[in-house]
Structure 1
């Protein structure tokens, strides 16, 4: 019984052009995996919760417990330590370790780099430093206990496991039959490239070449993980950012009409919430209201879409463009 561990970066998958949700799909296809054992974040809006089912890769839950209470205890410990000089020094040491590791994992990397000894050693050093500063328990979110329980649930299983990057060193220690995937000859393909394009378009920066980004989106037809409807919705966001409401609405309505079949489950909510905002900005309040209500009626809509829809029902959306 062997387990192949793949590193998860959570929302940071959206920031890594060569290790994004599409790349994870490609790695799983390379392994021949029809399902994954989920040992990562329970966030329902996790990028892989969209990508894997869209790629017809099943997610098997039941391995990760709800440790939200540990976050509460951690906050209480921070409040206690912050009252004392020595406690504040320990908090600074832990924060420094976290800052250093965060700087590493927010730097775009490839699958080879993420699973390298250098990065895994950095993850181990981060947790060692945190434990040295705050002790095992509330200070580490009960990490050793959590990993031991997770390893016990995974013991006797086989297949591909999605686990947080910084948990991999500990799981490799606790699970003798676990290993990282063999990346010999692997290179990100079209699924990864399309996902990177869409991720980039959803996160505009001031120095972006918007015309080039729109041209790139327009050239693509999409795939199962990043369908054409999402590419159209992402392009609409660019037009909305520059105040071209007519173009944004046309693209969003096209995307909404294409929301059929096994599209990523978050896409309908994101598309309709943005469409409601555009209709509001064009003074089409009645249709905007109905669109917001459609978002809230979906079986699943990401938190950001639900929040936008609820806000839109409360007050009409208005477009505020930055000064030229």
Structure 2
């Protein structure tokens, strides 16, 4: 029974041009699975879309593809209540001096994990013994400090149960999407499971890398080159990000000129885009002195069925006071 396990890096995918959200999608397409199995989410969490607030970037692309192609998506974690105990445990520890000492010990592990996730990654590196060993160093170190239980969200217990479900699926090619910290457990527990292998970048992945770079716009980037690259991509997200660059350059009129036609086009995908588009459009209308149009845009943002937290904060702040460049 072939099983491919692709680890997700959550919001950290934006840092990795060669293992970005679309890389996961392209590898899923190439694998042609019978179903997509979500190891780190419960059915109720999938239905509620909790992965969106977690910033699980590959799912913004993978789930629409699966739905559009008749590929079943099955959430396997039956114990989300146990997973939730990890955050509750940390909050409780932080209330006590002795607990803060334990958290300080864990902070060094977190620093090492962040260093691991911010170094350049290729898809096959995530299957290398060295990379897996570093993940186990983090996981085992955490257990040594706190024990296996509430502090870990009972990760070992939950993933053992998930592995049992995967093993009982029968014939077919199964694609498992797992949180990075669940991934080593599943590689160990699922017979014959493999992680990602080497993967040649596709044009769609290259475009995603440019979009990700624009989301992380920095002062020493070549803004002119980035604008040219976004223009060549020519989709709604690229147009929004080009407007962002003009706004960052202090040219709100040029940004608004890009945003106006975008509002009359299709900009529902990825699912985080509508909230950002409407909230930013409100700010641009404020900057050109059209307060009523700005308020309508902020209200439209808040009326969406789901809005990224940042876009929601922009809209709420814009309702209170007109936006101004700082």
Give the TM-score normalised by structure 1: 0.87
Q: Partners of 2:63 and 2:187 in 1: how far apart?
A: 27
For structure 1, the residue ranges without an aligned partner over 5 or more in a row are 222-227
Does residue 267 of structure 2 align to residue 254 of structure 1? no
The question of whether the paired residues in 1 share the 8 Å contact of 2:126 and 2:196 is answered with no
Q: Partners of 2:72 and 2:192 in 1: how far apart?
A: 21
CA drift of 1:257 comes to 1.8
Task: Tell me the matched-pair count.
Answer: 307
Match for residue 191 of structure 2 among 168, 176, 199: 176
Q: SS of the counterpart of 1:131? A: helix
Q: SS of the counterpart of 1:4? A: strand
What's the Cα RMSD here?
A: 2.2
Does residue 309 of structure 2 align to residue 297 of structure 1? no
Does residue 211 of structure 2 align to residue 198 of structure 1? yes
CA drift of 1:61 comes to 4.2
Q: Partners of 2:208 and 2:4 in 1: how far apart?
A: 23
Flag the 1:304–1:255 CA change in 2: closer, same or farther, 3 A. Answer: same
The question of whether the paired residues in 2 share the 8 Å contact of 1:93 and 1:130 is answered with no
Counterpart position of 1:215: 228
CA offsets 1:123-146 (integer angstroms, 9 cap, x no match): 011111111122222333322223
Counterpart position of 1:60: 73
CA offsets 1:273-302 (integer angstroms, 9 cap, x no match): 111111111111100111111112223322
The question of whether the paired residues in 2 share the 8 Å contact of 1:17 and 1:192 is answered with yes
Q: SS of the counterpart of 2:240? A: helix
Matches within 5 A, 1:96-175: 96-157=108-169, 159-175=174-190
Counterpart position of 1:12: 12
Counterpart position of 1:273: 279
Q: Partners of 2:251 and 2:13 in 1: how far apart?
A: 30
Q: Partners of 1:14 and 1:34 in 2: how far apart?
A: 28
The question of whether the paired residues in 2 share the 8 Å contact of 1:293 and 1:309 is answered with yes
Counterpart position of 1:224: none
Give the TM-score normalised by structure 2: 0.86
The question of whether the paired residues in 1 share the 8 Å contact of 2:301 and 2:312 is answered with yes
The question of whether the paired residues in 2 share the 8 Å contact of 1:281 and 1:317 is answered with yes
CA drift of 1:149 comes to 3.1
CA offsets 1:255-287 (integer angstroms, 9 cap, x no match): 222226x63222211111111111111111100
Q: Partners of 1:72 and 1:254 in 2: how far apart?
A: 45
Q: SS of the counterpart of 2:75? A: coil
Flag the 1:71–1:112 CA change in 2: closer, same or farther, 3 A. Answer: same
CA offsets 1:219-260 (integer angstroms, 9 cap, x no match): 223xxxxxx111000010011111101111111122222226
Q: Partners of 2:156 and 2:182 in 1: how far apart?
A: 10
CA drift of 1:122 comes to 0.5
Flag the 1:59–1:207 CA change in 2: closer, same or farther, 3 A. Answer: farther
Counterpart position of 2:51: 43
For structure 2, the residue ranges without an aligned partner over 5 or more in a row are 42-49
Flag the 1:29–1:62 CA change in 2: closer, same or farther, 3 A. Answer: closer
The question of whether the paired residues in 1 share the 8 Å contact of 2:34 and 2:174 is answered with no
Does residue 313 of structure 2 align to residue 307 of structure 1? yes
The question of whether the paired residues in 1 share the 8 Å contact of 2:10 and 2:57 is answered with yes
